[in-house]
Every structure is written in structure tokens, then in C-alpha cells.
Amino acid sequence: MYCQKVGIAIAPNSKASSEYKSNGRQVTVLFTSVVAANAPILFKPKESFQTIKVGETAKNEYRFVNLSNDTIYFRPVHSVLPENAATKLTLSKCFCFDDQVILPHQEYTLPVLYSFKSDLDPEVENITMHYTLFPKEKVSKK
């Protein structure tokens, strides 16, 4: 319940959420990232800020670099603030949907495709999309 309230690891995709149209309003989205437990991964957004139109799909990318000689397994977890913006987020594509693995010294970039529904609170002008990488022992099989 707490996670849903503050927008942590929610699965905000639904058919209804993709039916909202742009209303021309713009918001600024701040992208932040952190690696938990001092895992040796460089993890950064391509763009730290984006100004987007509410109701339209936008794209950012995140760069991952394994700085070690070991294979690293991790789980990306996202959060969105303010909390009333979290329930208006639609993630069409995100590396946070699945556990990840990065080989020694491997480098790659993964996209995030997202939008905010047109009924986003009109007082919201700035949104933070934060990602934390949590190391794991190995990728879980489903």
C-alpha cells in the first residue's frame, strides 16, 4: 500500500491509461538514479531533465556500465514524486519491468517510454522519476 501511494514499483500500465490525449500542457520531468549497496555500476540518465507535453509519450535512455570484473545481477526499482503524479504515469517500456544482468565491463543503454495522463493535477509542474538499482544474487526465473 505504501509503495503504491508514493509511486514505488507500481505497474501503471492499462488500456485506459493509454487512451488519454495531450492537452498541450507541459511539465518538467527530473530523472535521478542511484545504485544501492555501492554496486560497481555506472547508472545515469541520458537527459537529466525533460520538458514534455502531458498526454504524449516521451522517451529517455539510461546508460549502464559494469565497472567490475564480475557479472552483476540487479533489480531496477522506480519511484515517482509527487505521489499524485505516480498514479497518472504510464510506462510503455522500461528496464524496471524485469531483473537485469550486466556482464563484466559491459556497457549498454536502455529506453524508458513514458507519459502522464491528461488529468494530471494542474498544480503539478515538476515531476521526479527516480530509479534505484538493487543488487541481487542472480536473476530470478519466472
**pLDDT tens per residue across span 5-53:** 445 555 455 444 444 577 889 999 999 999 999 999 999 999 999 999 9
Q: Does residue 115 sit within a domain?
A: yes
Residue 67 belongs to domain with CATH number = 2.60.370.10
State pLDDT tens for residues 51-66. 999 999 999 999 999 9
Q: What total number of domains does the chain contain?
A: 1
Q: Does residue 142 sit within a domain?
A: no
Cα–Cα distance measured from residue 11 to residue 89, given in angstroms and rounded to the nearest whole number: 9
User: What pLDDT is stored for residue 96 in this prediction?
Assistant: 96
Q: Does residue 141 sit within a domain?
A: no
Q: Does residue 33 sit within a domain?
A: yes
Q: Does residue 6 sit within a domain?
A: yes
Task: Count Cα atoms within 13 angstroms, Cβ side, for 90.
Answer: 21
Domain carrying residue 27: 2-136
